[in-house]
Structures are given as structure tokens and as C-alpha cells.
């Protein structure tokens, strides 16, 4: 049986991707920092699909967490055939007003844990000369993001890093793809402290599209026609749009 390892799998795009992989007959390894939601997700997937689901509680915003959880997965006799680096969160606010500790944990989760899991999975995939990695970036990774500067910069890292790794991995028959969703109806915006945009996409639609394009080895996977148009807009125009939606006073407008 093939296994897909999915971080941030208890909600939103991660959960819907887990459902897609289960529907396609894969076993899934789900990772989350929320133990209660993790167990609930495991039970739901097993009940809906009769799938082989293994759950690992791990806070990937902590240094060393990526190595720890991957080692536990391997110790249980599972070597992922697919890795989905989906876990992440954002912070909104002026750059001089973001909490240091929260920002550092966001950077560890969004960049360091992602790159470490990618590196660990690549080692195993290179030995087998097969495998797929889906790193979740954002359409925000194509531009700077005023009032969410470090989050957008982190997604730019994910995009650039993944493109470079894809170039290297192609010689070993490994597919590395980059999912760049726009606004999606998940808990992301609530955690960020902003409102979910009215044009946000459904996570199930996003996940199904992402899976199809991953199977086709598309480098950039951008769900939604509007999102594919938006990435072509002038950067300055996109920065103004983000600033108006993310600035602290935006919540009162």
C-alpha cells in the first residue's frame, strides 16, 4: 500500500486532501498539533473510507519537530510515497507590531519544518527513485504582502525553495509540485485575525484540483480561474489590495 503523509490534516485543504488520497486507495499519515481534532479526523476518515490512517501529534512550529515526527513514522514501518507539506498559519499586522514569539513559530512551521520534511522524504524517495512532494505555498508567494510581511515572505521562500528542489529531483524521477491557493474557506483567516474574503474558494474543490494536477506533475498548481488571473496583475496593484485588506484599520471599514 502507498502512503501519503499530510501535515495540517485536521481541517481545511489538508483534511480534504487526506479525503482525496483515502478515496484513491492510499493509506494516510496525518500530522497535527491538536490531539483531539487529530483523533476525530482519524475516526472520520476510517469510517468514511475504511482507510489505513495513522495519526501523529506533533507541533511543527517547534525546532526539531519535523525530524522527530518523520523518525516516528519511519520507526512504525511507514515510508511515505507522497509528502504534503500543508501545515501553516499567518499573522496580520504592521511589521513593528508582530509578536516576536508568534512570528518565530510561524517561520519554523511555514519554512523550516517544511524544508526539513522535504529533505527527509527526498532521501527515501531518491533510494526508490519514485515519489511525489506537494508543498503548499500561496498566490501571496509571488509578491510582497504589506501588513502580513513575514507570512508572504515565507510563502515566497516555499515557492523558490520548491522550484529549486524540483529542478534537482527531476533527475531522480521525483515530482515536486507547488500548490498556490488563493483565499480559501478554512480557519486560516480567523486565526490570523482577519475576515474571510467573500470570494474564498471551497477547500474540497481546492483539494480535488490540487490532487489532479499533482498526478500530472504540474509545477505550479493554482486553483481557481480568478486566482490564475490575479497572479498576473502588476505587483504594486496587488500590494495595495493586500494592504487594504490586512491593515489593522481594515477590520473597522
Q: What letter does residue 148 receive in the DSSP assignment?
A: S
State pLDDT tens for residues 14-66: 999 999 999 999 999 999 999 999 999 999 999 999 999 999 999 999 999 99
Phi first, then psi: what are they for 212, rounded to 5°? -60, -45
Question: Domains of the chain (ranges plus CATH)?
Answer: 3-252 (3.40.50.720)
Rounded to two decimals, the pTM is: 0.92
Element (H, E) at 93: none
Give the pairing type, strands 220-221 and 27-32: unpaired
Local structure of residue 111 (DSSP, 8 states): I
Q: Which of 184, 182, 164 is nearest to 222 (CA)?
A: 182
- In this prediction, the residues of the chain whose per-residue pLDDT falls under 70 are 189-195, 198, 248-253
Q: Which residue in 150, 163, 148, 25 sits closest to 81, CA to CA?
A: 25
Identify the burial level of 7 via C-beta atoms within 10 angstroms of its C-beta, where 0-12 means exposed, 13-18 middle and 19 or more buried.
Answer: buried
Which pLDDT score, from 0 to 100, does residue 200 have? 79
3-class secondary structure, 115: helix
Report the alpha-carbon distance of residue 95 to residue 93 in Å, rounded: 6
Query: What is the reported pLDDT for 253?
Result: 32
Helix (H) or strand (E) holding 6: strand 3-7
Q: Which helix (H) or strand (E) holds 242?
A: helix 235-246
Contact 179, 137 (CB under 8 A): yes
Helix (H) or strand (E) holding 184: none
Query: What is the spatial distance between Cα 155 and Cα 141, in angstroms, rounded to a whole number?
Result: 4
Where does 24-145 have alpha helices with state H? 35-49, 65-75, 100-107, 114-128
- Count of beta carbons in the 10 Å neighbourhood of residue 50: 9
Q: Which three cell numbers stand for residue 128?
A: 526508490
Question: Phi then psi for 123, rounded to 5 degrees?
Answer: -55, -45
Residue 189 pLDDT: 65
pLDDT in the model for residue 252: 32
Amino acid at each position: 500500500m502507498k502512503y501519503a503523509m499530510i501535515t495540517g490534516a485536521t481541517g481545511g485543504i489538508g483534511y480534504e486532501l487526506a479525503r482525496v488520497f483515502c478515496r484513491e486507495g492510499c493509506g494516510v499519515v496525518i500530522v497535527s498539533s491538536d490531539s483531539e481534532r487529530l483523533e476525530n479526523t482519524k475516526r472520520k476518515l476510517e469510517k468514511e473510507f475504511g482507510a489505513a490512517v495513522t495519526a501523529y501529534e506533533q507541533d511543527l512550529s517547534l525546532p526539531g519537530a519535523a525530524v522527530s515526527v518523520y523518525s516516528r513514522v519511519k520507526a512504525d514501518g511507514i515510508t511515505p510515497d507522497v509528502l504534503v507539506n500543508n501545515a501553516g498559519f499567518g499573522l496580520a499586522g504592521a511589521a513593528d507590531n508582530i509578536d516576536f514569539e508568534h512570528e518565530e513559530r510561524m517561520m519554523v512551521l511555514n519554512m523550516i519544518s517544511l524544508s526539513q520534511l522535504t529533505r527527509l522524504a527526498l532521501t527515501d524517495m531518491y533510494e526508490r527513485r519514485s515519489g511525489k512532494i506537494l508543498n503548499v505555498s500561496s498566490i501571496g508567494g509571488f509578491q510582497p504582502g504589506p501588513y502580513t510581511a513575514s507570512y508572504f515572505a515565507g510563502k515566497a521562500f516555499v515557492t523558490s525553495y520548491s522550484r529549486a528542489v524540483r529542478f534537482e529531483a527531476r533527475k531522480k524521477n521525483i515530482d515536486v509540485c507547488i500548490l498556490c491557493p488563493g483565499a480559501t474557506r478554512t480557519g486560516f483567516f480567523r486565526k490570523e485575525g482577519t475576515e474571510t474574503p467573500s470570494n474564498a474558494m471551497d477547500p474540497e474543490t481546492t483539494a480535488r484540483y490540487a490532487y489532479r494536477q499533482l498526478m500530472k506533475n504540474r509545477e505550479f498548481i493554482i486553483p481557481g480561474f480568478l486566482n490564475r488571473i490575479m497572479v498576473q496583475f502588476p505587483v504594486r496593484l496587488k500590494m495595495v489590495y493586500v494592504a487594504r485588506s490586512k491593515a489593522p484599520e481594515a477590520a473597522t471599514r
